[in-house]
């Protein structure tokens, strides 16, 4: 196989794996939103999703196999094996296999004893040997497991996604666009976070707790979300949310947090956009300059400032290279109006630029931005303290895409 074909095969495999996880997380959201008040959900429990009720335990395994066809019960071997193994060791759960096949005959809703034996029979080659793996289980285990197992045909990927969106709208009493732009990213990020917790107690949540955690104004646009819907739709969704929140209004004090390593032409291009196109001559006199908060080394930040000055961008940094002065940094630029009108003729600076340590001093001194957008940053209290409104947390996009968020053209 040539290198290009190998790369394409790997890309398809990676994309299929990502879709599988996203499909599982979407199903987890549905299970939570469909639960009653007496049921809690354990993410990554005995199976992908465990439903823990007052008088019942249900373990749900989720599979999205759009590239596979269902032919016989043998097609279900992979997820069935760990289920019956857990049952044989004393698990008291009912089991649900939620599975989507791309093609083939209809998936049965249940298996008979003979179907289960067929499922757990495999053949190896050289020499040809048939293995009856069900023989390691007693007849009581086999018959008992069949009674406890239910197979649920899963919807196609985007049909299930629509079910998630509809349930979010119903449970939170919100419009469809808000569900898509705000609450689905929040819900997905929460499930992804729960799935990584080390203890069962931390991976457990109920409907009320889930709703309270996602019913917040913080926008958490996660990398998983982008991988599924694509960069263009991801950026458009975020842009739509920013506009609906009036986050990019000219009269608001806006801050953008980005990462940088050394000299970065993409960041410099973004700085030109913020300094020359979003502020300055021709803009209304009440337009406020942007603040760029750079997460990087002192050396990298210093080099970025030098390159900006060489590009005729006048900066305000509160003298952070000497000793940062929050009050001085917060002062508005001196504006001269054009012909005594409402537009800016010139200003004393074009853009504010500081590092994370200076941001902490700024927030500790009681100063706030109206809007803060954090790109590729972990959610933390510093950004919340530094912003009057809940911050927007955005993961998974490049600086080039940030440039488009604030109106830049290719």
Tell me the HSE value of 409 on the side-chain side, using a 13 A CA sphere.
Answer: 1
Contact 254, 374 (CB under 8 A): no
For position 72, what pLDDT does the model report?
94
**Structure confidence at residue 229 (pLDDT):** 64
The answer on pLDDT for 257 being more than 90 is yes
User: Which is higher by pLDDT, 178 or 311?
Assistant: 311
DSSP H helical ranges for 251-336: 265-272, 298-310, 326-330
Q: Which residue has the tokens 């997820």?
A: 79
What is the pLDDT at residue 189? 87
Strand boundaries in 163-238, DSSP class E:
204-206, 219-221
Q: Kindly tell me if the per-residue pLDDT of 10 is higher than 60.
A: no
Confidence of residue 120 (pLDDT cuts 50, 70, 90): very high
Record the tokens describing residue 161, joined without a space.
């996604």
pLDDT per residue over 148-204, tens digit each? 999 999 999 999 999 999 999 999 988 888 888 778 988 998 999 999 999 999 999
The predicted pLDDT at position 380 comes to 85
pLDDT at residue 90 tops 60: yes
The domain 247-405 is classified under which CATH number: 3.40.1000, 1.10.760, 3.30.70, 3.40.309?
3.40.309
Find, among 71, 230, 236, 244, the residue nearest to 158 by Cα. Answer: 230
Distance CA 389, CA 249 (A): 13
Q: What is the mean pLDDT of residues 214-228?
A: 63
Taking CA atoms, 363 is separated from 24, 122, 185, 330, 360, in Å, by 40, 64, 27, 11, 5
Every domain range in the chain assigned CATH 3.40.309: 247-405
More confident of the two residues 340 and 265? 265
Question: What is the C-alpha separation between 57 and 51, in angstroms, rounded?
Answer: 6
Distant-in-sequence, close-in-space partners of 49: CB < 8 Å, separation ≥ 6: 24, 27, 28, 31, 41, 42, 43, 59, 60, 62
Rounded distance between C-alpha atoms, residue 8 and residue 58, angstroms: 39
Give yes or no for a contact between 368 and 388, defined as CB atoms under 8 angstroms apart.
yes
Rg of the chain over all Cα atoms, to the nearest angstrom: 27
Tell me the whole-structure pTM to 2 decimals: 0.64
Q: Spell out the residues 6+ positions from residue 365 whose beta carbon is closer than 8 angstroms to its own.
A: 326, 327
- Distance between CA atoms of 370 and 377, rounded to whole angstroms? 19
d(CA 59, CA 150): 10
């Amino acid at each position: 196989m040539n290198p290009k074909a190998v790369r394409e095969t790997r890309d398809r495999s990676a994309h299929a794996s990502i879709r599988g996880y996203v499909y599982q997380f979407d199903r987890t959201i549905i299970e939570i939103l469909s639960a009653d008040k007496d049921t809690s959900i354990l993410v990554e429990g005995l199976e992908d999703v465990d439903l823990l009720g007052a008088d019942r335990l249900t373990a749900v395994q989720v599979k999205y196999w759009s590239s596979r066809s269902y032919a016989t019960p043998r097609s279900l071997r992979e997820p069935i094996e760990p289920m019956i193994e857990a049952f044989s060791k004393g698990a008291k759960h009912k089991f649900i296999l939620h599975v989507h096949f791309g093609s083939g005959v209809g998936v049965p809703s249940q298996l008979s004893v003979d179907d289960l034996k067929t499922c757990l029979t495999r053949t190896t080659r050289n020499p040809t040997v048939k293995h009856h793996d069900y023989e390691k289980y007693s007849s009581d285990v086999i018959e008992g497991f069949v009674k406890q197992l239910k197979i649920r045909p899963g919807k196609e990927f985007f049909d299930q996604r629509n079910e998630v969106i509809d349930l979010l709208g119903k449970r939170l009493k919100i419009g469809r666009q808000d569900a898509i732009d705000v609450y689905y990213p929040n819900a997905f990020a929460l499930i992804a976070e729960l799935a990584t917790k080390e203890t069962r107690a931390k991976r457990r949540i109920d409907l009320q707790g889930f709703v309270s955690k996602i019913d917040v104004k913080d926008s958490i646009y996660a990398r998983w979300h982008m991988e599924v819907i694509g960069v263009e739709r991801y950026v458009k969704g975020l842009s739509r949310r920013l506009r609906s929140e009036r986050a990019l209004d000219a009269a608001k004090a806006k801050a953008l947090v980005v990462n940088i390593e050394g000299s970065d032409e993409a960041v410099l291009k973004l700085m030109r956009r913020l300094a020359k196109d979003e502020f300055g001559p021709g803009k209304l006199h009440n337009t406020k300059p942007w603040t760029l908060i750079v997460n990087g080394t002192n050396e990298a930040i210093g080099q970025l400032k030098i390159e900006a000055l060489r590009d005729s961008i006048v900066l305000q940094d509160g003298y952070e290279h000497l000793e940062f002065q929050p009050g001085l940094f917060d002062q508005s630029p001196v504006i001269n109006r054009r012909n005594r009108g409402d537009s800016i003729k010139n200003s004393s600076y074009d853009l504010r630029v500081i590092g994370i340590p200076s941001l902490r001093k700024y927030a500790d001194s009681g100063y706030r931005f109206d809007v803060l957008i954090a790109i590729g940053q972990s959610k933390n209290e510093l950004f919340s303290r530094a912003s009057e409104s809940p911050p927007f947390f955005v993961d998974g996009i490049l600086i080039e895409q940030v440039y488009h968020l604030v109106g830049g053209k290719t």
